[in-house]
Amino acid sequence: MSAAVVFGAGGGVGGALADHLAASGRYTPVYVGARRPLPPGPHQIPFVYDLTDEDSIFKAASDIETPPALVLVASGMLHDKSRSITPEKTLRAIQPEAMARLFSVNTIGPALIAKHMLRKFPRDRPAVFAVLSARVGSIGDNRLGGWHGYRASKAALNMLIVNFAIEMRRTHPLAVVVALHPGTVESGLSEPFHAGVKPWKLFSPDTAATHLLDVIDRLVPDDSGGFFAWDGTRLPW
Ligand SMILES: NC(=O)c1ccc[n+]([C@@H]2O[C@H](COP(=O)([O-])OP(=O)(O)OC[C@H]3O[C@@H](n4cnc5c(N)ncnc54)[C@H](OP(=O)(O)O)[C@@H]3O)[C@@H](O)[C@H]2O)c1
């Protein structure tokens, strides 16, 4: 048996991913990480970490005993009322503290998870490391502009995924390191922006988890370093 690890399991998409993985019986156990302790579920082992605290990520990784076959980073932020962070519509709205926080949570935190989790990957078996990025982080797909900090932090995350895939290929040829776009999903993160979204383009977390796990199931080592949407299509970086 191999373990699965979900960072961001307290969120909309992350919670649904953790539940699907535990229900599938394919991974034992499923480690579920959040900033505050989650209730233990069947086959789920909770852990606490914060993306802005490397020691907490190191500790979480050290406590995971079973080699992981799947590590999902489902955390992320777009806005934070408590810090007056909202997506910028213009250049004038750029605030250095807000941008630094977005990079800390969306880019540096996942990089630290990769730093401490990828070394635990088996060398002789396939294993997947997938981060939830966002289509708006694609430089090649950017036609609307705006959301400067969020877009840039996800674009930087996408670059790191390419880097990590190159590095892992040398030592772990069966490992797959990818970025995924979940579609627009009903969650706290997307809630302020639902108004303009057509109902059939707004997925429930449960549906999003089904889509993403289908994509993950179809990944092969040659896909490592790729950026994939919820329907399996490859997105431009
Ligand atoms: N929803 C969408 O439409 C959409 C579209 C494209 C991409 N995405 C991406 O999908 C991912 C999941 O989003 P979601 O919709 O599930 O959002 P969500 O419900 O707001 O979940 C975000 C998660 O990130 C965690 N988080 C935030 N700051 C953290 C920190 N400092 N340390 C540890 N965890 C932290 C939150 O933890 P707490 O529970 O402790 O607050 C929460 O569990 C994100 O990366 C997002 O950018 C979402």
Q: How far is CA 56 from the centre of its chain?
A: 17
Number of other CB atoms surrounding residue 209 within 10 Å:
25
Q: Is 132 in the pocket of ligand 1 (CB under 6 A)?
A: yes
Q: pLDDT (tens digit, 0 to 9) for every residue of the chain, 237 residues total? A: 789 999 999 999 999 999 999 999 999 999 999 999 999 888 899 999 999 999 999 999 999 988 899 999 999 999 999 999 999 999 999 999 999 999 999 999 999 999 999 999 999 999 999 999 999 999 999 999 999 999 999 999 999 999 999 999 999 999 999 999 999 999 999 999 888 888 889 999 999 999 999 999 999 999 999 999 999 999 999
The H or E element containing residue 131 is strand 127-132
Domains present along the chain, CATH in parentheses: 2-229 (3.40.50.720)
The Cα 70–Cα 117 span in angstroms is: 10
Residue 229 forms beta bridges with which residues? 181
Q: Which residues share a beta bridge with 185?
A: 203
* DSSP-based three-state secondary structure for 184: strand
Overall size of the chain counted in residues: 237
Of the residues 59, 189, 207, which should be mutated to test ligand 1's pocket, given the most ligand atoms within 8 Å of the CB?
A: 189
Strand pairing partners for 72? 6, 130
Closest CA to 172 of 124, 131, 227, 224: 124
From 43, 47, 37, select the one nearest 21 (Cα to Cα): 43
**Whose CA is closest to atom 21 on ligand 1?**
11
Which of 28, 62, 67, 20 lies closest to 45 in space, CA to CA?
Answer: 28
